[in-house]
Structure formats: C-alpha cells, structure tokens
Amino acid sequence: MKKLLFIVCSLFLIMSMNAQKQIKLNAPNKSRGTTVMKALSERHSVRDFSSKELSLQDLSDLLWAANGINRSDGKRTAPSAMNKQDVDIYVIMKSGAYLYDAKNQALKPVVSKDLRGDVAGGQDFVKAAPVSLVLVSDISRFGSMASKEMNTIMGAVDVGTVCQNINLFCAATGLITVPRASMEKEALKQSLKLTDNQILIMNNPVGYPQK
Ligand SMILES: Cc1cc2nc3c(=O)[nH]c(=O)nc-3n(C[C@H](O)[C@H](O)[C@H](O)COP(=O)(O)O)c2cc1C
C-alpha cells in the first residue's frame, strides 16, 4: 500500500512539474524606444540571433506592441478588417507554445513542446532565436458575407500589419527580427491544434543580436 502511495505521489509530482502554466506578462512600458522616424531608419531584417532568453519585460512589451489592447473599448495596436480581430499570436519558445491573451496580458499554454524547429522550416538560424511569434488569421471570424479568397486576403493584410508592428518595435528597442513566410505549416497546424480556417501566414523570430 505504502509503495502504491509512493508511486502515485511521484507520478503526481512529475506531472505537475511538466504541466505548462499560464505566464502572466508585465504591463507594457509605453515610454520606451526611439522615435518613429529613427525606428523606420533602423528597420531591417537580421538573422544572426543570440540564444539569450528574452526578458519578461521585453516579451511583454513586444506582444503588446504587436497586437495589444491600446484603448478602453478593447481595440488593438494593429487595425483589423471590419474589427473582426482575426489575428492570433502563437508564442513559440523552448519551454513550449503559448497563445497571446491580449485581454489579460498573459500567455495561455498550448503545448509543452519546443516547436522552433517547425517554425525554422529549413532556415536553421530560427532555432537559435529564443522566441518566434507565429501569426495566424482565423478567417472564420469574418463570417460568410465575402468569399473565402477575400477573407484570406483580409487575413493576410491584418497579419502583415501585426508583423510590421513587430518589425518596428524591434527596430526601436534594439531587438532583432526578420518577417518570414517559411515554416512547416502542416506540422505546426497539428501541434497548435488549428482548424482549417486558422491560416498560418507569417512568423517573426525575435531575440538579441549576437555580440
Ligand atoms: C511576406 C514576406 C515573406 C518573407 N519570408 C521570408 C522567409 O521565409 N525567410 C527569410 O529569411 N526572410 C523572409 N522575408 C524577409 C525578406 O527576405 C526581407 O524583408 C527582404 O530581403 C528585404 O530585406 P529587409 O527586411 O532587411 O528590408 C520575408 C519578407 C516578407 C515581407
């Protein structure tokens, strides 16, 4: 009986150690960064990442800049076609994949697996970046008024806007990134449990430059 109790307790301990937990992000620091004109001057793609982990503040500010809530009515830093808010950001890190929850400024656990290899899709430099933001448009949120093709175009434009927020935030704060369309879409779709209406469009590996 004692042995059984020991095994059950050990299993419970191992399971709770492996359980992926929600990550509470910090409030965004809205006074950081350079001017818009300097950020535009600095913006360029960089692919040589240091493997140093992003600080919680950098990750929090990055996600808020990408598509955080910037008004009391719940609207975001990025515009959205028909205000359907179709863009979801999946945060891919060594510790697992998370979904950005803008309302609660938190990361919701999706899967405790390192999916950076699937984001890399043949471009190995991506695996060195501590974080990749995978931008997904859920075109079902547009409804059926327009054609699927039109909804996909609107989704791609909305993702492009979020992507540029990321590019400019990085340029303004000394982080590095590159906007990418390449990734192992089928593998990511499975691991992130996406539906056929959730289209993987772009990703941005983000990190610090190599010294
Ligand atoms: C829609 C789109 C898809 C891209 N896909 C990739 C990609 O898969 N891999 C990559 O290394 N760069 C990718 N890039 C980055 C471009 O190669 C890069 O923006 C271009 O060479 C211009 O360089 P710059 O960003 O420094 O101005 C992509 C850019 C865009 C806009």
Question: Could you read off the pLDDT of 32-59 as tens digits, one per residue?
Answer: 999 999 999 999 999 999 999 999 999 9
Say how many CA atoms lie within 13 Å of 188 toward its Cβ: 27
Give the whole-angstrom CA distance, residue 163 versus residue 92: 15
Q: Is the pLDDT of residue 17 over 50?
A: no
Q: Which of 106, 113, 72 is nearest to 89 (CA)?
A: 106
Calculate how far, in angstroms, residue 63's C-alpha sits from the geometric centre of ligand 1: 20
Cα 15 to middle of ligand 1, angstroms: 41
- As a whole number, mean pLDDT of residues 10-36 equals 81
Residue nearest to atom 25 of ligand 1 (CA): 45
Residue nearest ligand 1's atom 14 by CA = 180
Q: How far is the CA of 73 from the centre of ligand 1 (A)?
A: 34
Domains, the chain, with CATH or none: 22-207 (3.40.109.10)
Edge-to-edge strand order for the sheet containing 131-138?
23-24, 106-111, 96-101, 87-93, 131-138, 198-207, 176-177
Q: Yes or no: say if 92 and 116 are a contact pair by the CB < 8 Å rule.
A: yes
Q: Which amino acids bring their CB within 6 angstroms of ligand 1? A: 44-45, 123, 178-182
Name the one residue in this structure whose structure tokens are 């359980």. Answer: 19
